[in-house]
Amino acid sequence: MDRDRRAKLTPKERQAARERYKKMEKLPPDKKQGLKQQWEEYNRLPEQERRKLGSTPRKPPAPPHPPQSPAPAESGPPPTAPIAPINP
């Protein structure tokens, strides 16, 4: 990002940019390389395609683990079949 664009960012946008930068610094080299290639491919697209992609709403990231449903509550011993009387 060039200096002029950075100067026009709001404080909230600057903070988000810093956080993204820190996050990128922690990525393993192979992941960084893959993202770099994707960015280069994006930049090679015609302007119209980039605008189209930019206007497409993003999917929210998937949660790391699916929510667990609570275990059913135990209400005592399991039901038993009735016992028939024995006739002597």
Domain coordinates in residue numbering, the chain:
3-53
Q: For 21-48, b where at least 16 C-beta lie within 10 A, e where not — what string?
A: eeeeeeeeeeeeeeeeeeeeeeeeeeee
pLDDT at 4: 82
User: Which residue from 30, 24, 29, 53 is spatially nearest to 41, judged by alpha carbons?
Assistant: 53
Confidence of residue 12 (pLDDT cuts 50, 70, 90): very high
Is 88's pLDDT higher than 80?
A: no
Give pLDDT tens digits for 23-68: 989 999 999 899 899 989 988 999 988 888 877 777 776 676 666 6
Say if pTM beats, i.e. exceeds, 0.75. Answer: no
Query: What count of residues does the chain have?
Result: 88
